[in-house]
Amino acid sequence: MGHPRSDIDVIFSAEQISERLGGLAEEIAQLKLDKLAIVAILKGSFIFAADLIRALHNVGMEPEVDFITLSSYGKSTVSSGTVDILRDVSIDVTGRNILLVDDVLDSGRTLAYAKDLLSARGAESIRTCVLIEKDVGRAVDIKADFKAFKGPNVFVVGYGMDMSHRFRELPFVGRVVST
């Protein structure tokens, strides 16, 4: 169970997440994409991506893995509306099948920005995969091709996700109820 926390309500437990990732990996494997490259959007997706690639291994896949660091929130819990590249990918995406991995699909701006960027660079195909698709109206019309969970429209932390640089280390996804 790990260290109990009275300040966080659990939304998705570590057990729930790990159970779901096996099924998610099978869904992705069914696409049978040749030379798949995962591009994980940092920082929030680092733990999800780490678990997802091992789940993909378990279904026989051998994806290449890269990262891009994007920022739309800064220290706030409300999207600023503009997306900045803090650190770019290091692979050449031209002609590649890409799976973009992010933690949360909220307004849609981050994922749409990343998709447009890699598309403009000549990626062969781009699919999107998120840990949580929030139940909220999007500012940008984009759907995740794959999602681990649908989630409520609340700010979530843990499993890689932060609030003002805290809580990334939690092995579950939760909501802060007191600080």
* 9 in catalytic set: no
State which of residues 28, 61, 103, 115 lies at the interface with ligand IMP (CB under 6 A). 103
101 touches, from ligand IMP, Mg ion, none (C-beta below 5 to 8 Å by class): none
Question: Exposed, middle or buried by CB within 10 Å (0-12, 13-18, 19+), for 155?
Answer: middle
For residue 69, the SS3 value is: strand
Residues 147-176 that bind ligand IMP (CB under 6 A): 155-156, 161
Catalytic residue among 51, 102, 103, 106: 106
Phi, psi of 27 (to 5 degrees): -60, -45
CB of 69 to Mg ion, least distance (A): 9
106 touches, from ligand IMP, Mg ion, none (C-beta below 5 to 8 Å by class): ligand IMP
State which of residues 47, 48, 108, 167 lies at the interface with ligand IMP (CB under 6 A). 108
110 binding ligand IMP? (CB under 6 A)? yes
State which of residues 24, 28, 44, 117 lies at the interface with Mg ion (CB under 5 A). 44
CB of 33 to Mg ion, least distance (A): 23
Contact between 103 and 44 under an 8 Å Cβ cutoff? The reply is yes
Q: What is the CA 114 to chain-centroid distance, rounded?
A: 12
For residue 35, the SS3 value is: coil
State which of residues 24, 105, 118, 144 lies at the interface with ligand IMP (CB under 6 A). 105
Q: E strand or H helix at 146, and its extent?
A: strand 146-151
For residue 154, the SS3 value is: coil
d(CA 172, CA 14): 5
96 vs 109, beta carbon nearer ligand IMP? 109
Phi, psi of 160 (to 5 degrees): 100, -20
Q: Which residues bind ligand IMP (CB under 6 A)?
A: 41, 44, 72-73, 79, 102-110, 155-156, 161
